[in-house]
A and B are shown apart, each in its own frame.
Chain A
Amino acid sequence: MTDQAYNFAYLDEQTKRMIRRAILKGVAIPGYQVPFASREMPMPYGWGTGGVQVSAATLTPEDTFKVIDQGADDTTNAVSIRKFFERTAGVATTEETARATVIQTRHRIPEEPLTEEQVLVYQVPIPEPLRFLEPSEIETRKMHALEEYGLMHVKLYEDIARHGQIATSYAYPVKVEGRYVMDPSPIPKFDNPKMSDNPAIQLFGAGREQRIYALPPYTQVVSLDFEDHPFDPSKADAPCDLCGAEDSYLDEVIIDDAGGRMFVCSDTDYCRARRASGHVGAKGVAEDAA
């Protein structure tokens, strides 16, 4: 049961109401960064305090909670956030994407398509996509307000000029409903198309920078590009060595001291479910040994 020393989901009700107001405003203005009074959380910034506050304001006792970090449920960060809400909210937790009602994530969108019953909460380190080219916050807010987004394309232009192609592969900027340019958080650009027209509610929380933004269900999200250098959501050109999936985002992992490598799904739940239903990749045998 819930640890009685805490209010449900750790934050007091007034704080949660403040965060919910920010979330509602964000949902009403898709892609717009809403300032909110970020609270101290019992974990350091950079550990997803923005996402944790959004999750805390979103969770109800009936929810089933899942946390992934780089697609995996079993990393330190994911485990500690999951434990945190088990203790402070007493909610059920799961590693199965389909069973979860609230999913907090860092750096990935699950491979399994989300549904209208689900909320995806992103941890965001730097919410401002214009920050790298325009250091002034006053100026970037004005640029958003007046839709002055030429600078975003200057960044992509520089990419192509230097690398022959758009080299940005994480946190690839998007335009939301033809209006706000938004940083999708450091997900791989492979995940960008999943954001668009998604039935789930997508919420973004940046703790240190005190910003919340959101995509309501079925929002149009377009990755910025040039006519002659169209957006390409590429990934490693290989199937998963464990489950054989050809459509999932892969991590390259080193498997022995001799420099042996293999490609495996970054989404551990997706990979596990595929193997459970009989799919086997080229090195599927290695799985038994692990």
Chain B
Amino acid sequence: MTRPYDIATRHRAAGRIARAPDGAMAAGQADLTGTAPLLRVEGLTKRYGTRIGCADVGFDLWPGEVMGIVGESGSGKSTLLNCLAGHLPPDSGQVLFDTRTGGLKDTVTMSEPERRMLGRTDWAFVHQHARDGLRMNVSAGGNVGERLMAVGARHYGTIREAAIDWLGRVEIGADRVDDRPTAFSGGMQQRLQIARNLVTGPRLVFMDEPTGGLDVSVQARLLDLLRGLVREMGLSAIIVTHDLAVVRLLADRLMVMKDGHVVESGLTDQVLDDPQHAYTQLLVSSVLQV
């Protein structure tokens, strides 16, 4: 299921968030528009022993919005993303997702079967390392088809057709459909992982450094492709990256993390062009020096 891309809605939503520089939003604020956020995060904290993974993170994500999370290595981006996607149990806080049947529901406290069901239907997760998100001993077609079969597709011809269609959309030739990912380059593996995740039309996509670990030229092509898919499908996504070029290209909105805390958030262009927090200024200027 895809939604029409509505750039006006995006920017309305983004603008509202931009007025809350600490990333938190008053609970009642969503009611102003009459539509519900796709994801509402409140007071999310995860510790590893005494070390902070992420602390007191809160934000709303609106349908059709792409949110970037940036920060240096160790700032808590992956921890936050994994808590959002149900891979890590947070110590406190809520992750409310707009479920198809029950509206906003806390995915932290819902039953594991329910959460795993979301994981293979409404949610998708693109890992930094393709091998973590692919079955390396299963053909490209099987990798893309798995999510379809997981939700009950039982017609081989239809599954294969969808797989080939999606391989095409990520620029992998139909003649590679029976090859295993081990025979693919790093960039192809990452594109395969993206196809595998998007084939069922997820309502929310989590991405952890999707272009990390790739050559610069390969990164550019992947970014282009991702931007095309985001626009075409009107994807709602949360993208973690330490690469500001990635968020500039893909994200409507930005959260900047440092030591597990969100130190600044707002519209991507605003934050990057006119950073308020000293740390963001440092981050932006260090990029300019590269």
Contacts and interface: CB of A to CB of B under 8 A. Distances in A.
B100 interface: no
Label chain B's interface by main secondary structure.
Answer: helix
Given A146-B113, A162-B178, A228-B157, A157 B150 contact: no
A41 interface: no
Contacts of A133: 135, 137-138
Q: Secondary structure of the A side of the interface?
A: helix
Given A146-B113, A154-B138, A154-B142, A160 B156 contact: yes
Interface residues of A, number: 16
A6 interface: no
21 contacts: A133-B137, A148-B120, A148-B150, A150-B146, A150-B147, A150-B149, A151-B146, A151-B149, A154-B142, A154-B145, A154-B146, A154-B149, A157-B141, A157-B142, A158-B139, A161-B139, A161-B178, A162-B178, A226-B155, A228-B155, A229-B156
Given A133-B135, A226-B156, A227-B154, A157 B113 contact: no
B116 A146 contact: yes
B270 to A, nearest CB: 43
Given A133-B135, A148-B116, A157 B151 contact: no
Contacts of B113: 146
Interface of A: 133, 146, 148, 150-151, 153-154, 157-158, 160-162, 226-229
B138 A150 contact: no
A290 B138 CA distance: 48
A228 B153 CA distance: 12
A233 to B, nearest CB: 19
A229 B159 CA distance: 12
B155 to A, nearest CB: 5
B129 interface: no
Nearest to B177: A161
Nearest to A162: B178
Given A158-B138, A158-B139, A153 B154 contact: yes
Contacts of B139: 158, 161-162
